[in-house]
Amino acid sequence: MIEGRVELPAVVQKTPIANLFVITCGQTSLGPSGLFDSAGMPVALAKLREAFDFVLFDLPPANVYSDASILAARLDAALIVIEADRTRIPEAERTRRSLERVGVRLVGSVLNRRRDYIPAFIEELL
């Protein structure tokens, strides 16, 4: 779709959840950086915004790959996903600053893979 070879209806897939659709990455000879920087990306984003109320992108780790920095700056907002007990605060802060430097509007963060160290019956008492 970004390369202009197919239209949006051809790539949208229904899911078992009502009003939730998925578009997979597809095949391209361009690398992610070339694809996200291509002239077709703003056109594709405009089509997605027109067709859907909300569009979510699942991007690779921003501290490892440049894809997030390239694409997220063109989106309305972004969340940083932080892995509990693995991602250190300085690393999360460095990622936040680097995304903000390229114009990404960060609206929050998500902590995933959190483990409870306090037994549930004690936590209920607190």
Mean pLDDT of 62-80: 83
If asked whether residues 120 and 62 sit together in one domain, one would say yes
Q: What is the mean pLDDT of the chain?
A: 86
10-69 tens-digit pLDDT: 999 999 999 999 998 878 778 777 788 888 889 999 999 999 999 988 888 887 777 778
The confidence score (pLDDT) of residue 85 equals 82
What was the pLDDT predicted at 63?
79
Residues 75, 101 within the same domain: yes
In a shared domain, residues 70 and 111: yes
**Domain shared by 41 and 18, yes or no:** yes
In this structure, the answer to whether residues 118 and 66 fall within a common structural domain is: yes
Give the count of beta carbons closer than 10 Å to the beta carbon of residue 39. Answer: 9
Q: How far is CA 51 from CA 46, 58, 110, in A?
A: 9, 19, 27
The pLDDT assigned to 38 comes to 84
